Amino acid sequence: RCSPDSTAQLSDMVQSARKVGLQELCTTDHYDLLLEDGTPAEDWDWTPVLEQFEPESRKISPDFRLLLGLELGGGNVDPEKASATLAKVPVDFVVGSIHNLSPAAGGADFYFLPYRTREESVALLDDYVNSLLELAPLPCYDALGHILYPLRYINGRAGHGLTLDAWADQLDVVLQTVIQTGRAIEVNTCRGREVEDWRPVLKRYRELGGELITLGSDAHEPENVGKGLPQAAELLKETEFHYVTLFRRRRPELVRL
């Protein structure tokens, strides 16, 4: 309810998480440093988040954990503002993501772009990968979120059939930076619709020495909580990972699959 992606109450998300058998839920409301049209966002207000989180966390029983997080989009646009946002409350987990074109390219949200031609989409991916390269070394995230994000629209909506293979060298740098800085990557199932898509990314991450992986369903609504997570866990096993990563006060904990 505290970001544009959802109107759901936290209590309903918790109830759904427990219903489907999750032992832990971390809230990651979205805060992008650029708005949908590319203009800079106002400072993030933690108050409405904490107004839901604090009473809900007091109701939780010992067999379930509720953790506080944030999806921070575009931390590379203003690293100082990103760090100041995270310093305001003791968060457990931060997803670092890129939802927008760079300011130099207009800053528009990928969700709203038209993807008229394949050539246009390639240029947009060039810009996206450059933003990932800028974000990767920064301290304003714990897991690099949904690396495949623009393909969700380039292929799923516009049908251009692109992959990130043309940017393999740059993505290797991104993944190596994540590894060297002790951070994780996120396997984002997009409410159960994107699981197998992650296989090539996971294989390459493993080849480079990556170990830390978080799982997220990007639920937005109670009925989607946890969708695709069992399948994603199986995919991790198939790509030779033995643990899933959880974060507590921004420190990773490994849980055997």
Please state, as a whole number, how many other Cβ atoms lie within 10 Å of the Cβ of residue 177.
17
Q: What is the pLDDT of residues 28-44, one digit of tens each?
A: 999 999 999 999 999 99
Calpha distance 59→13 (Å, rounded): 14
Q: What is the pLDDT of residues 161-171, one digit of tens each?
A: 999 999 999 99
- Determine which helix (DSSP H) or strand (DSSP E) holds 84, and give its type and residue range: helix 79-86
pTM higher than the cut 0.75? yes
Amino acid 232: pLDDT? 97
Calpha distance 47→43 (Å, rounded): 12
Q: By percentage, how much of the chain surpasses pLDDT 70?
A: 100
Would you call 174 exposed, middle or buried from its count of C-beta atoms within 10 A (0-12, 13-18, 19+)?
Answer: buried
Taking residues 173-182, report their average pLDDT: 98
What spatial distance separates the first Cα and last Cα of the chain, rounded to whole Å? 31
Q: What is the pLDDT of residues 128-157, one digit of tens each?
A: 999 999 999 999 999 999 999 999 999 999
Q: What is the pLDDT of residues 48-81, one digit of tens each?
A: 999 999 999 998 888 999 999 999 999 999 999 9
How does the average pLDDT of the chain come out, rounded? 96
